[in-house]
Amino acid sequence: MPDTWISPERVLMGPGPSNIHPRVLRAMAQQTIGHLDPHFLVLMDRVGEGLRHLFQTRNPVTLAISGTGMSGMEACLVNLVEPGDRVVVGVHGYFGERLVDLAARVGGEVTRVEVEWGRALDPAALIDAVRRVRPALVACVHAETSTGVLQPVEEIAAAAREAGALMLLDTVTSLGGVEVRIDDWGVDAAYSGTQKCVGCPSGLAPVTFSERAMERVRRRSTRVPSFYFDLALLSQYWGTERIYHHTAPANMLFGLNEALDMIAAEGLEVRYARHQRNARALRAGLQAMGLRLFADEAYWLPSLTTVCIPEGVNDLPVRQALLRDWNLEIGGGLGPVRGRVWRIGLMGHTSSPANVLYALHGLHSVLAGLGVSLPDGLAAAAQALEASA
């Protein structure tokens, strides 16, 4: 008989997942109930309302797709893009590239508007493309996980609406940690993942569709190519009809419900301020160590910081040592910045002053062990925390 498998205790400070609050884990350990049980249907309503609060929207079609954040991206694109539709995608990192890929896979004629990684998209360039192409859909990433850049979207969404296009927004690394205002910004559809700032394990993808977006779904000339992600069918399960669609992951939704309750109790503005305070302290500590930050300072992302790897230092041995000796996970770079940056997340339950100081101490110790002499960043981080208390 094999030994029982137990997961190790980690401090998860990569680009996701983040650590889970014990309250959420306890909620997930409750007994499973059926996906059409009256108690479960009440829970679905609670989750929908909690997600509307988090997205800052009144959209009735606001629900949690059974799947990871990528399932949210795919669900949005298979519903909103038909073969031959023109799509404008802003690309300022790895997940903008994913949007291009998936939009093309469902038959979209994609126009890319891109910028060097580490910088935000120029709204004027996107607006020019929208006016020139007259697309059916405009899409971009709000919080680019690969670069640590937070993208302003309000001007872009306004231009999309003026051109008769829908606006799609990736909020995977922003929802729950950075302000997201779907209705005020004029965003028609958005998706996220539960494993980052929302504070729940990976496995659900919150999505929200405006009435304009749902009207596009209803008026399609072709069927949505995915039964599983068909929002017209999913909205019948999550809405008042309660028509069976699939066996929803009950315990995951138990956890999401608890996480949303905790977010509401903390308050959105307080939560956003917590993420900003801790990220500022981390950045102050890294800079005091002499490390260079990668993302444009004007558009830094509070939930994830990208830092340039010092010259002569190999990426993987540092991350392996942090995991082995400190039980600390940080992320490496993707695509063209692979081996050039580390990605350090402060999301949800993970975003705390203790974790900021622990990560700085661990990184400094590992680099010193490799013969890299750097100043200590703890005092600068502590000072930043004190200044914003």
Chunk the chain into consecutive blocks of 10 residues (it has 389) and report each block's average pLDDT, rounded to whole numbers: 85 98 98 97 98 98 97 98 98 98 98 98 97 98 98 97 97 98 98 98 98 98 97 97 97 98 98 98 98 97 98 97 98 97 98 98 97 96 92
- pLDDT, position 1: 56
Distance CA 115, CA 177 (A): 25
For residue 350, the model assigns a pLDDT of 98
pTM of the prediction? 0.97
Considering the chain, tell me which residue range(s) the CATH 3.40.640.10 domain(s) occupy: 22-265
Give the full edge-to-edge strand order of the sheet including 341-345.
304-308, 341-345, 331-332
Look at residue 3 in the predicted model and tell me its pLDDT: 81
Assigned CATH topology for domain 22-265: Aspartate Aminotransferase; domain 2 (3.40.640)
b vs e for 238-252, b when ≥16 Cβ sit within 10 Å of the residue's Cβ?
beeeeeebeebbbbb
What are the residue ranges of CATH 3.90.1150.10 in the chain? 268-387
CA angle (103, 106, 107) in 5-degree steps: 90
Which CATH number is associated with domain 268-387?
3.90.1150.10
Rounded distance between C-alpha atoms, residue 111 and residue 190, angstroms? 20
Phi-psi region of 9 (alpha: psi -120 to 50; beta: other; left: phi over 0): beta
Q: Is the peptide bond prior to 17 cis by the omega test (within 30 degrees of 0)?
A: yes
- Give the DSSP letter string of 235-283: HHHHSSS----S---HHHHHHHHHHHHHHHHH-HHHHHHHHHHHHHHHH
Q: Looking at residue 388, what is its pLDDT?
A: 83
User: Cβ(357)–Cβ(378) under 8 Å?
Assistant: yes
